Structure 1
Amino acid sequence: MTRTAKIIHLAALTVAATIYVALTTQAVAQSQRNCGPREAVVERLASGYGETRQSVGIGSNNAMVEVFASDQTGSWTILVTMPTGVTCLVASGQSFEEVAEALPAKGNDA
């Protein structure tokens, strides 16, 4: 993976962590529907959607943030696993693409 791709994945993980923090303020009942043991969640993504882990990072509160996606179907899922071992789905969608965009030149804020 190129340096640029790593930076893009890190940006996606940062956004996912931000989304996670925002979602943790919602009712506990809703978050429990989207959470479960990590092994079961990962198995469901693999068997049901053909998704594999594309990137990983550590977010706020030492939470592990992971992006899973399928190269064949384009589906993607962002998971957050808390230090307690509980894994929660925070976002999912379609049309996943791996991109490698160059960083803007220094001094160019466009």
Structure 2
Amino acid sequence: MNIITELNRKITSHMSICLEKAVEERTGLTGMVESTLALVREMGREMIEDMIRTAEESLLNSKERSMEWVVQSRNREKTVSTLLGDICYQRTYYKNRESGAFRHL
């Protein structure tokens, strides 16, 4: 699913749930802010993970990259703790054709 469509769906659903809770359970502003903040963090993590996935695919399919770097291993799991929470993604490790050096691009 397109990330924009998914974000729109989540925001719309969240707004509906917040409104229901405000009316039925009389949740206060603090509760709405906390649940909205949790949603924004979740969406931020998903957006960053999607950008990393797109960049990795672009590098993997790059003709320029393949002239200098060969794939050594794929799908290495990585996790980075951020203000949005843990960002989990997969990286490709490359070997330089000329020098033999290894690195993530």
Flag whether TM exceeds 0.5 (same fold): no
- Superposition TM-score tier, normalisation by shorter sequence: 0.3 to 0.5
The structure whose residues are more often helix, as a share, is: 2
TM-score (norm 2): 0.34
TM-score (norm 1): 0.33
